[in-house]
């Protein structure tokens, strides 16, 4: 890798060397003094990269985000990329690293995929400090009368471990047992708060509102009551500053925060995005998994709470993935099958239609694989054209910025054209259950939502407690519009089961758990960890 010193990367967007706290030669945190000195209102155009429903064939959302950022730089634009930090769970599980691929990568990729600058460790520590203070309070007399059986705060760890989903702990060492479970760090409320807070003051205020459980009278007990929020903020102070790295073509990138999009809200930090908008003319960011999850939450949660106004949406598709949505098995994807691509286009069409509902112009990026044929690509281009949408074949994996020039020109023109009239899919005033129903009908195309008795009781409880105006964060399988991961394509008319709801009072949303979704994943039968090792020169192998 021919990387530049990080101070030279920062200089491209006006970041002085004195504003960088370096972690070696190629990565750094921006100083608090610098980020707070920037103008309050950013002038950059915000571009969202999302995708069709994911398949084992791959879509390449992060790769395309990086490739588009490089492409904008290549055509003379002042661009900055905003990405999420990878979680150790997928790195050592099944998905692998999350820093792009080929010539469209952020670097140093091995360091970013592993400990990076320690942000996730700080988030995990803050989460578990609160958990320890909950149980310590009960141990030392429980003056808040916190009911051990109604403690809702979970511990966290940034690793897939299904054994931690359900357990019983002895709080006092004298047989006072209570149920406990772990969330993966990227699904924790502390991660969501970290990614939605706009300042350290806002961060502490949000942490203070975290609900840890209820007392014997059924009243809410918060982190503020436990006097935990200030210490949690101390643990997060340094982590809260955005991280600066670079692409292989030396485009600056802020990589910060990392909630999953199937069980959390799936976007990088608001702090990094706002900082980027104040530094660059074009900011390219991504939202996790398919547009029904990451993009919906980007619009309905992040943009709503942060006052952001996106200018363009890029939907990524691949010939291979569309063939899988059209019924082709993974081991048969290399053979040309125009009819399967045509059959799978229902998934892309659905996502395009959904994205247009938010009032933001849409363009399609066809992420190229070597097995794609011209006839297969032509089917996608024609289908998009019938919808009034341009589709660009992108070869950034193999050719870097050169492979996204066409896409970059159109994205810049759309962003500069001012045709975006962004609006969320539902208003704040709608009751929580109706917000869930709106997403289910308008985005998933469900016939109706089947709320469990437990979910209905909690919804009423949250409304009564004054949280009726918050947005909803849908926790659902990423593989389908429905809650059934096996229903590919564009199913409709199904029933969406909501088994439970959780109030994230500090983050400012209600999580709706759809079907059998888990907030602590497990490792696959053959985890990636089995092939990750150091070679004779101490170089990491098998991480990608």
Residues forming the active site: 61, 63, 84, 95, 261, 289, 369, 397
Give the chain's count of helices (H) and strands (E).
19, 25
The token pair at 437 is 């129903």
How far apart CA 534 and CA 538 sit, in angstroms, is 5
Residue 407 in contact with residue 255, Cβ under 8 Å?
Answer: no
Q: Residue 48 burial (CB < 10 Å; 0-12/13-18/19+)?
A: buried
How far apart CA 430 and CA 14 sit, in angstroms, is 42
The token pair at 455 is 């979910």
Q: Of 232, 298, 208, whose CA–CA distance to 506 is shortest?
A: 208
Beta-strand pair 252-255/45-51? unpaired
Q: Computed from CA positions of residues 278, 279, 282, 286, in that sequence, does the dihedral angle turn out positive or negative?
A: negative
Q: How far, CA to CA in Å, does 175 sit from each of 170, 468, 538?
A: 6, 38, 48
In three-state form (DSSP H/G/I as H, E/B as E, the rest C), the secondary structure along 355-381 is HHCCCCCEEEEEECCCCCCHHHHHHHH
Say whether 326 sits in a helix, a strand or coil: coil
Paired residues of 541 in beta bridges: 533
Instruction: Output the DSSP codes for 68-133.
Output: HHHHHHHTT--EEEEEPPPPHHHHHSSS---SEETTEEEESHHHHHTTTTSHHHHHHHHHHHHHHH
Cβ burial 57-89 (10 Å sphere, 16+ → b, else e): bbbbbbbbbbbbbbbbbbeebbbbbbbbbbbbb
Which helix (H) or strand (E) covers residue 280, if one does?
A: none
Residue 205 in contact with residue 222, Cβ under 8 Å?
Answer: no
Q: Of 172, 241, 165, 175, whose CA–CA distance to 203 is shortest?
A: 241
Which helix (H) or strand (E) covers residue 272, if one does?
A: helix 270-279
In three-state form (DSSP H/G/I as H, E/B as E, the rest C), the secondary structure along 298-319 is HHHHHHHHHCCCCCEEEEEECH
Question: Which pairs with CB-CB distance under 8 Å and at least 24 residues apart come from 162-170?
Answer: 162/518, 162/520, 162/521, 162/522, 162/523, 164/520, 165/518, 165/520, 169/135
């Amino acid at each position: 890798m021919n990387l530049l010193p990080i101070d030279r990367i920062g200089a491209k967007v006006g970041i002085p060397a004195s504003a960088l706290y370096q972690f070696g030669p190629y990565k750094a945190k921006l100083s608090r003094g610098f980020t707070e000195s920037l103008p309050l209102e950013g002038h950059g155009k915000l571009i969202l990269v999302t995708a069709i429903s994911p398949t084992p064939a791959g879509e390449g959302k992060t790769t395309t985000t990086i490739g588009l950022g490089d492409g904008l730089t290549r055509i003379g634009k002042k661009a900055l990329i905003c990405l999420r930090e990878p979680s150790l769970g997928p790195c050592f599980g099944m998905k692998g690293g999350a820093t792009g691929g080929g010539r469209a990568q952020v670097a140093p990729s091995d360091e970013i995929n592993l400990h990076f600058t320690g942000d996730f460790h700080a988030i995990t520590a803050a989460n578990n400090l609160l958990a320890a203070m909950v149980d310590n309070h009960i141990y030392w007399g429980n003056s808040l009368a916190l009911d051990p059986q109604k403690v809702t705060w979970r511990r966290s760890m940034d690793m897939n471990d299904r054994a931690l989903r359900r357990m019983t702990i002895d709080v006092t060492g004298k047989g006072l047992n209570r149920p406990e479970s772990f969330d993966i760090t990227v699904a924790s409320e502390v991660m969501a708060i970290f990614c939605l807070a706009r300042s350290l003051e806002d961060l502490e205020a949000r942490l203070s509102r975290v609900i840890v459980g209820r007392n014997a009278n059924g009243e809410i007990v918060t982190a503020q009551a436990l006097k935990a929020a200030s210490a949690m903020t101390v643990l997060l102070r340094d982590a809260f500053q955005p991280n600066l790295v670079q692409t292989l073509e030396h485009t600056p990138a802020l990589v910060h925060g990392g909630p999953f999009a199937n069980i959390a809200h799936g976007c990088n930090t608001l702090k990094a995005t706002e900082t980027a908008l104040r530094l660059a003319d074009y900011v390219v960011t991504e939202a996790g998994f398919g547009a029904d999850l990451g993009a919906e939450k980007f619009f309905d949660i992040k943009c709503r709470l942060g006052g952001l106004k996106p200018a363009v949406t890029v939907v990524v598709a691949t010939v291979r993935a569309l063939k899988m949505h059209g019924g082709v098995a993974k081991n048969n994807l290399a053979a040309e099958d125009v009819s399967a691509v045509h059959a799978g286009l229902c998934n892309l069409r659905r996502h395009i239609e959904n994205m247009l509902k938010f009032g933001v112009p849409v363009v399609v990026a066809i992420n190229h694989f070597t097995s794609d044929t011209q006839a297969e690509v032509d089917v996608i281009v024609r289908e998009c054209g019938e919808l009034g949408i341009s589709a660009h074949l992108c070869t950034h994996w193999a050719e870097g910025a050169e492979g996204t020039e066409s896409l970059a020109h159109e994205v810049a023109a759309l962003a500069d054209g001012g045709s975006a009239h962004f609006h969320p899919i539902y208003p704040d005033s709608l009751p929580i259950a109706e917000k869930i129903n709106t997403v289910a009908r308008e985005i998933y195309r469900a016939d109706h939502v089947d709320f469990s008795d437990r979910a209905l009781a909690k919804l009423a409880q949250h409304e009564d407690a004054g949280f009726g105006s918050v947005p909803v964060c849908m926790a659902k399988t990423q593989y389908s519009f429905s809650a059934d991961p096996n229903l590919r394509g564009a199913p409709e008319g199904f029933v969406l089961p909501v088994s439970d709801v959780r109030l994230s009072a500090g983050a400012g949303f209600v999580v709706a758990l759809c079907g059998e979704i888990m907030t602590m994943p497990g490792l696959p039968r053959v985890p990636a960890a089995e092939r990750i090792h150091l070679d004779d020169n101490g170089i990491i192998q098998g991480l990608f």
